[in-house]
Amino acid sequence: MPMDPSSAMLSQALLLLQCIILTLGQYDICKSLVSTDDGPTWEYYACQPKPMSMKEYMQIRVEPPDITCGNPPERFCTLENPYLCSDECDASTKELAHPPELMQDPERTGLITYWQTVTWSRFPEPLQANISLSWNKSLELTDDIQITFEYGRPTIMVLDKSLNYGRTWQPYQYYADDCMDGFGMLPKRVQDLSATNVTRVICTEQYSRWVGSKNEKNVRFEVRERFAIFAGTKLQNMDNLYTRMESMKGLRDFFTFTNLRLRLLRPALGGTYVQRDNLLKYFYAISNIDIPARCKCNLHAGQCSLRDGTLQCDCEHNTTGQDCSACERGFKAKSWKPGSFLPTPNGSPNICEASGTSDNCECNGHSNRCSYIDFINIVTCVSCKHNTRGQNCQHCRLGYFRNASAELDDENVCIECNCNQLGSLHARCNDTGFCQCREGTTGQKCEDCLSGYTWKQGCMPNVCDDEFLLCQNGGSCIQNQKCMCPPSFRGVLCEQPRCQGEKGCDGASACYLSTLTLLLCLLANSLLKASRLETHLSSDINSSLRRPKG
Ligand SMILES: *[C@@H]1O[C@H](CO)[C@@H](O)[C@H](O)[C@H]1NC(C)=O
Ligand SMILES: *[C@@H]1O[C@H](CO)[C@@H](O)[C@H](O)[C@H]1NC(C)=O
Ligand SMILES: *[C@@H]1O[C@H](CO)[C@@H](O)[C@H](O)[C@H]1NC(C)=O
Ligand SMILES: *[C@@H]1O[C@H](CO)[C@@H](O)[C@H](O)[C@H]1NC(C)=O
Ligand SMILES: *[C@@H]1O[C@H](CO)[C@@H](O)[C@H](O)[C@H]1NC(C)=O
Ligand SMILES: *[C@@H]1O[C@H](CO)[C@@H](O)[C@H](O)[C@H]1NC(C)=O
Ligand SMILES: *[C@@H]1O[C@H](CO)[C@@H](O)[C@H](O)[C@H]1NC(C)=O
Ligand SMILES: [Ca+2]
């Protein structure tokens, strides 16, 4: 097909643009126009946003709330010169205040601004503080985390991370001047790690020893060094790293987080012991926290931007969501997949495909596989996920019902019936989640009893009743299920007088039907008692008593 000159020019310009972009770095672009015999067409690639300085976007919270110095104003000394205590922290004076936001402000050269805590005046109660950093977004570390401490680095500290917006936390790295003493752990360095244990959480002594407060101020979480295990010391072989990211379980997640937390457990001491007579020199001060990371977009976005106060991926490949972790409406012919770094160099975009095209078997996003069944001549979805079934994964599996507020292609489309096993006839339920109940049972899940029934591994009809007291002859009703009879009566409702041990009373009906038989019973009883045969007979009596009555 001949191209008109303007579109040819456009495609050449785009080709040039593509060349420029491709030289920028790997996985930087999500798509590009390529010229083919049929004219320019889009080609799609796995893509990820560029690393950013995440300190600009982080929310900082310090704990306890009154840990920041200056309210009331206080003096503090330094470890280098503990007798020079002229410095002051005063929250009400701008020049002397040290609020948490000074950990994330841009450091202009020559002027160091820092957050500072109160001093350790309540010794021996440890001076501890937490700093929580949140982004409300999944991020992936791309370089070392670096925390800059003024006036000395903590002697004990933990870096924690959360993958679920702060609901649960896990340690990321332990820091102590003595790991055994601080955490009962052997000291390690990232250099000690190899490809097999790179995701191990270690305790390091590298950043906690006293070296003078001005010499080395930084505490690191080493990302580069961990990358280098796969990519070489100059990170020259990133392909190998990306390949491992795909193949090694837990490797990508290790660098992923939504929140970070610093637990400062003991400040710099400037020596071995705490000098109790000068506690004004012990405190924490942080001037900067660097978090080089990129938005986690599941390789479906090349950009990440601030929208409604939250970082969000600018999703491509017809994906959607903050992390591009779902297919857009109308593009759910297959179930969603993250993009893949493989095959290098461009990876696989795993784009979401338009649903509803007739030559496609539509699986409503619950399956990626179709199969042709020859003898009935139909194409059907295979291995429907999300508890669906059917040719197009359009029904709910047995024991599930349709979620009325979810689209057919929603992961939550089928809800478990959850029928009570004892109370229901089977695991199925109707379209509103009602199960089919056994006799005497009621409720949506068949978990309740109708009146006149009591739950006893299912609903059992009441034998007696606490109020109507169907138990006779003074029997009392136990849990609606049986009558406890006085000694002289028995039977389900205590309706039968008891004739203990008599041979003649064997047939129960004989014993209470008439006074005559009762008398005979008593007579037989006394005869038996007199006789030595009693013990021999009693087993017969027991077995005959146990025999079901006609
Ligand atoms: C820091 O957070 C941990 C975990 O939530 C908590 O146990 C500890 O009490 C906190 N420390 C301070 C000083 O608030
Ligand atoms: C976090 O991000 C989600 C998704 O963008 C948004 O709906 C929510 O309001 C945000 N929460 C906060 C506290 O900003
Ligand atoms: C990691 O594995 C290497 C050998 O593969 C071993 O020498 C090293 O001690 C391990 N490191 C840790 C922290 O377990
Ligand atoms: C996504 O859908 C739009 C139509 O909404 C289409 O123009 C575009 O080509 C699709 N992109 C991809 C990567 O499939
Ligand atoms: C029904 O679907 C909606 C929309 O996806 C979802 O928010 C809700 O949790 C689902 N209900 C159940 C019980 O799974
Ligand atoms: C499901 O069963 C319940 C209880 O029998 C009934 O009220 C409801 O209308 C039924 N729903 C449907 C959709 O049949
Ligand atoms: C007969 O039954 C009574 C009460 O259950 C029991 O105490 C007695 O040992 C039984 N006698 C024999 C011989 O089984
Ligand atoms: Ca600062």
pLDDT digits (tens, 9 = 90+) for 267-306: 999 888 899 988 999 999 999 999 999 999 999 999 999 9
Q: Domain locations in the chain? A: 52-295, 370-416, 418-460, 462-496
Look at ligand 4, atom 1, and give the residue with the nearest C-alpha.
Answer: 318
> For residues 441 and 428, what is the distance between their CA atoms, to the nearest angstrom?
16
Stretch among 148-157, 404-413, 535-544 having the lowest mean pLDDT: 535-544
Ligand 5 center–CA 351 separation, angstroms: 25
Minimum-distance ligand 6 atom for the alpha carbon of 429? 1
Q: Which long-range contacts (CB under 8 A, 24 or more apart) does 314-322 make?
A: 316/30, 316/31, 316/44, 316/47, 317/30, 317/44, 317/349, 317/350, 317/351, 317/352, 318/351, 318/352, 318/353, 318/354, 319/351, 319/352, 322/137, 322/138
pLDDT value at position 116? 97
Q: Which of 372-386, 471-485, 499-513 has the lowest mean pLDDT?
A: 499-513
- CA distance linking residue 538 with residue 529, whole number of Å: 11
Q: Is 345 helix (H, G, I), strand (E, B) or coil?
A: coil
Indicate the top mutation candidate among 430, 438, 442 to test ligand 6's pocket, ranked by most ligand atoms within 8 A of CB: 430
Check if 52-295 and 418-460 are the same fold.
no
pLDDT at res. 1: 44
Contact 147, 176 (CB under 8 A): no
More confident position, 355 or 223: 223
5's tokens: 């000159």
Residue 288 · residue 60 · CB < 8 Å = no
Tell me which of 402, 403, 415 to substitute to probe ligand 5's pocket, judged by most ligand atoms within 8 Å of the beta carbon. Answer: 403
Tell how far the Cα of 186 is from the centroid of ligand 3, in angstroms.
12
Residue 469 has pLDDT above 90, yes or no: no
Given this model, what pLDDT does residue 363 score?
85
Is residue 155 within 8 Å of residue 266, measured between CB atoms? yes
How remote is the CA of residue 60 from the centroid of ligand 5, in Å? 33
State the pLDDT at residue 532: 40
Task: Report how many helices (DSSP H) and strands (DSSP E) the chain contains, helices first.
Answer: 8, 36
The dotted CATH code for 418-460 is 2.10.25.10
Query: What residues are neighbours of ligand 8 (ion), with CB under 5 Å?
Result: 102, 105, 113, 287-288
- Helix/strand/coil for 191: helix
Tell me the angle at which helices 534-546 and 515-530 cross, rounded to the nearest 10 degrees: 140
Q: Which residues line ligand 6 (CB under 6 A)?
A: 430-432, 434
Q: Fold for domain 52-295? A: Jelly Rolls (2.60.120)
Task: Name 158's bridge partners.
Answer: 174, 263
Residue 145 Cα to ligand 1 midpoint, Å, equals: 21
CB hemisphere CA count around 388 (13 angstroms): 27
Q: What is the secondary structure of 49-88 as a DSSP string? A: PPPEEGGGG-EEEEESGGGBS-SS-EEE--SS-TT---EE
3-class DSSP assignment, residue 448: strand
Question: 3-state DSSP call for residue 429?
Answer: strand
Q: How far apart are the C-alpha atoms of 257 and 167, rounded to whole Å?
A: 12
Q: Please indicate whether residue 410, judged by its CB atom, sits closer than 6 Å to ligand 5.
A: yes
Rounded to the nearest angstrom, the distance between the alpha carbon of 116 and the centre of ligand 2 is 30
Helix (H) or strand (E) holding 517: helix 515-530
* Per-residue exposure over 62-78, b if at least 16 CB sit within 10 Å of its own CB, e if not: beeeebbbbeeebebbb
Q: Going by C-beta distance under 8 Å and a sequence separation of 6 or more, which residues neighbour residue 374?
A: none
Contacts of 455 (CB under 8 A, 6+ apart): 448, 449
Kindly report the average pLDDT of the chain as a whole number.
86
Tell me how far apart the alpha carbons of residues 249 and 254 are, in angstroms, rounded to a whole number: 10
According to the model, what pLDDT value does residue 55 have?
95
> What per-residue confidence (pLDDT) applies to 538?
41
* Burial category of 84 from C-beta neighbours within 10 Å (exposed 0-12, middle 13-18, buried 19 and up): exposed
Closest listed ligand to the CA of 417 = 5
Q: Among residues 110, 111, 112, 129, which one has the least CA distance to residue 120?
A: 129
Reported CATH class of domain 462-496: mainly beta
pLDDT at residue 353, as a whole number: 85
Q: pTM of the entire structure? A: 0.69
Distance 388 CA to ligand 5 centre (A): 15
CA 446 to ligand 6 centroid distance, Å: 13
Tokens 């009392």, located at residue:
476
111/66: higher pLDDT = 66
Return the CA Rg of the chain: 39
| Ligand 6 atom showing the smallest separation from residue 433 Cα | 1
Query: Mean per-residue pLDDT for 304-330?
Result: 94
CA atoms of 17 and 33, how far apart (whole Å): 10
pLDDT at 83 over 50: yes
